[in-house]
Structure 1
């Protein structure tokens, strides 16, 4: 790996980690506002170090180590920089398994957002799809069936990894849904917790939201040090957003769309790589940055139109913005709409 490619990968990781953690930053800011000064300072210093070195450092290292039984703990950390033929062969053998499991997780994550989650409509067709949200389970099942069938022809362990990826998605999704409901109760004052309990809650929230970034990082590289560097810098950016810029970030309605379409793209890249289509390392960072910039520009354009007149003039039948989801604005399906 040359220096330019490595730098491009790190930049792509920083952008992806930042954009995929926007929801996490908003939740952190809302909960921190209910805490005392000492607890806030403790979380923003020590909580961040835990998030960077434990979640974004140890987790990818564990994934590589567990998926590659032939490597020791140090070899798993430095594998992609090693010239040892045994280490290279072990990584090449285990890479399709890791990529298939991670790709399945990311594709399921995107489909869940596309079919079921409230959103600002950023592309044509999203409004129609969310009105047919019940189809998520059928589509996800068919996608898993196809992935497993393809994997069985090549390596049964890849098929098992795909099932692990889908199972991991549903487990993480359940934790995340429960955490978001708990966050709403905390902000509204319906639940009474000590500041230290809130810190523990925020660490759990960060862990569940960080899994997206950690798994997506493998679409960029299998190098644990590069993942730690890119995701670590991204985590510091998210901290800055949490402290100073969360209100500004909320003004860009389509950043979440950029994150989710990036996740979809990276999931497909991982699956294609796992199936033997060797994707150049520059593809993931270039396309991730391009997708994020595309939706950032759409957000800026939307905000500009909103200041002068009805933004629907610029985006007819494309976007729906509302504080609360309802069948009328299309953010949740109408049960009578068939």
Structure 2
């Protein structure tokens, strides 16, 4: 049974990361193609390193520490952390799970109703045409989730709200960044490489945060989240 859970976790994380990474890579390639060689080299060496590796390396530890402030940073970095650290993480597991789950649920409905796409699955066009219903559906879902979570504990309900808040914060920044994409890619506009680098940093950082928060719906194994 444990092997099955491990396999499902790895498969779920892999699919989630593949889907988001392809989208990220396509946008990066489009913007990088209009930049100088020096700017491309800088982004691929330093900018990409920060937006992806630093965020993915630090954020999972930071999230767990915020949920468990009693754990010392040294205990978190030691991965094992001792029995006290493991007990604290296990105690906060439902909060992290519901936060990651709500985030992932909102991400799915955003893709279903709003995300621009080429239709490949039966019914996609219908749902995409009902984009106005996205906010109504996720609002109702959040209300229902919080209602039932309150029966288990206030912190569990708070975790659900944190997941939804994280989604709208991250996607608000991403939506603003994507609105600038057409202007950045336009040959008529003389946009500096610095502006394009800033755009890519924001975009890649939001994709990385997406991956980290969504990964908590699958696992609390920080090394696995770091590598995903």
TM-score by length of 1: 0.61
Q: How many Å separate the matches in 2 of 1:101 and 1:169? A: 10
In the other structure, the counterpart of 2:196 is: 198
Counterparts of residues 31-50 of structure 1 (less than 5 Å): 31-50=31-50
- Counterpart of 1:154 in 2: which secondary structure? coil
8 Å contact from structure 2 (residues 31, 184) kept in 1: yes
- Which residues of 2 match residues 223-302 of structure 1 at below 5 A? 223-228=221-226, 230-231=227-228
Residues 99/9 of structure 1: CA separation in 2 closer, same or farther (3 Å cut): closer
- C-alpha separation in 2, matches of 1:191 and 1:147: 46
1:171 to 169, 172, 182: 169
Does the 8 A contact of 2:47 with 2:201 survive in 1? yes
Aligned residue pairs total 227
Tell me the distance in 2 between the aligned counterparts of 1:3 and 1:100: 23
- The one of 115, 119, 122 equivalent to 1:121 is 119
Question: Does 2:57 match 1:76?
Answer: no
Deviation at 1:151, TM superposition (A): 0.9
Matches within 5 A, 1:1-338: 13-79=13-79, 81-82=80-81, 84-228=82-226, 230-231=227-228
Partner of 1:315: none
- Cα RMSD of the aligned pairs, angstroms, is 2.4
Question: Cα–Cα, structure 1 residues 128 and 201, in superposed 2: closer, same or farther, change >3 Å?
Answer: closer
Cα distance, 1:159 vs structure 2: 0.8
CA–CA distance in structure 2, aligned partners of residues 40 and 162 of structure 1:
39
Gaps of at least 5 residues in structure 1 are 232-338
Higher Rg of the two aligned structures: 1
Secondary structure of the residue that 2:151 maps to in structure 1?
helix
User: Does the CA-based 8 Å contact 1:111-1:136 persist in structure 2?
Assistant: yes
Deviation of 1:191 after TM superposition, in Å, equals 4.1
- Structure 1 distance, partners of 2:183, 2:138, is 31
CA pair 191-208 structure 1, distance change in 2 beyond 3 A? farther
Q: Flag the structure with higher helix content.
A: 2
Cα offset for 1:6?
Answer: 7.0
Q: SS at 2:180's partner residue?
A: helix
Q: Tell me by how many angstroms 1:109 deviates.
A: 1.4
Separation in structure 2 between the aligned mates of residue 5 and residue 137 of structure 1, nearest angstrom: 32
